[in-house]
Amino acid sequence: MAIRLVLFFTITLSSLSLHSQIIDNDYSKIGEIQSDPHVRDKLPFQFFVNVDRDIVLIGYGIKPTKFVAYRLSDWSVVSSFDTKGYVSEAKSYFDEENNDIFYVKKSRGKSVFRVDFRTGYVEKMKCKETPKGCDFYNSKDKDYVSLWDQNYSDFYFFYKSYLIFNNRKSISLYKRINP
């Protein structure tokens, strides 16, 4: 019993110290939202961020994937929409000309969802009809870093000067104040 107690406290304290090392005084909290209760798996799988458009799209679950669009500046909800099937993160992108359009590529087949993320309107189309065609691949130029804590219970997503922290119950947004 004593060994279990020591092990429990060791894991708990190491988890807390990791969290405080990652989110330190260089970050200011913008806001916190509760995980979506309507989604079976409350852990977000996809993050798409566009700082110039003040938007982050967070995708939850699969078949369908439920997306919620938030403003980066104040963490307010802009819209939500669903896409059927699995999503290919590497082949999804923001439209370069139309500020309100995001293309969500299905991981199988040649279907793409054209989404107006300001309104939540979703239109299914063929990938050859999209601006970048079917062979587009987005490596995201490795401008993001994501990691799990030691117990795989907390998830950190870093994008430029932003940090999205998910502890399965809530998702917090932070902005770096001391670059």
Largest CA distance in the chain: 64
pLDDT, position 140: 52
What phi, psi does 16 have (nearest 5°)? -65, -40
Q: What is the pLDDT along the chain (179 residues), one digit of tens a residue?
A: 555 444 444 444 444 444 455 677 888 898 888 776 665 556 677 788 888 888 988 888 777 888 889 998 888 999 999 888 777 777 788 888 888 988 888 777 788 889 998 999 999 999 889 888 877 666 655 567 777 777 767 888 888 888 888 887 788 889 888 76
Q: Report d(CA 122, CA 83) in Å as an integer.
A: 8
In the sheet that holds 144-148, the strands lie side by side as 27-34, 170-176, 162-166, 155-159, 144-148
pLDDT, position 121: 93
pTM of the model: 0.74
pLDDT, position 9: 41
pLDDT, position 123: 93
Cα 58 to the center of its chain, rounded Å: 4
β pairing state of 155-159 and 55-60: unpaired
Of residues 101, 115, 124, the one with CA closest to residue 50 = 101
SS3 state at 31:
strand
Domains in the chain, please, with CATH? 25-176 (2.40.10.480)
Of residues 157, 122, 143, 138, the one with CA closest to residue 43 = 157
